[in-house]
Structure 1
Amino acid sequence: MKGILLELIRDTYTPLLQLPPHLPDESWLLAVSKADPVFFYLYDGVGQLQIGEASRESLLKCLKQELGRSE
C-alpha cells in the first residue's frame, strides 16, 4: 500500500514542484511522513485513492522543504 500512495504523491507533485524524476524513495518517504497526510479511498464502481483536501497544503510545504534540498 505504501508504494501505491507514494506513486500517487509523486505523480501529483513532481510536475507541480518541477522536481527531477530521479529523487530516491527515501527522500519522498521522509517528506511525506513529516506531512502525515490523510488519504481517502473512494469507490463508485471504480476504486480511487485521493489525498485529503485538508492535507494538501501541509504536504506541498513539506515536499518543497525536503525535496527542494535534494535537487
Structure 2
Amino acid sequence: MNHRLLPVSGVEMVKVFKKIGFQVIRQKGSHIMLSRGEDFLVVPNHSTIAKGTQRDLIKDSGLSVEEFNDLLKE
C-alpha cells in the first residue's frame, strides 16, 4: 500500500481525473475546472501541485491516494 503522494503537475492530475469521468469545462488563467455531473474540481495548472492541494483534490474526486497513484502510473 503506497499512501505517499507523488509530485505531479496540474496537467497530470487532470489526466487522472479524466480517467474517472471528469471533463474539462473551462480554463481561466492557471486554473482548470472539471466536472462530473454534480461534482466540480478546480485544478491549478502548475508544474508541481502543493501536497495539501493535491490531497484535497484527490479526496474531493472520491479517490484514495493509493487509487490515484495507480491511475497515475497507467
Q: Identify whether the pair has TM-score above 0.5, normalized to the shorter chain.
A: no
Which one has a larger percent strand, Structure 1 or Structure 2? 2
Q: TM-score, normalised by structure 1?
A: 0.37
Which one has a larger percent helix, Structure 1 or Structure 2? 1
Q: Which has the larger radius of gyration?
A: 1
Q: TM-score, normalised by structure 2?
A: 0.36
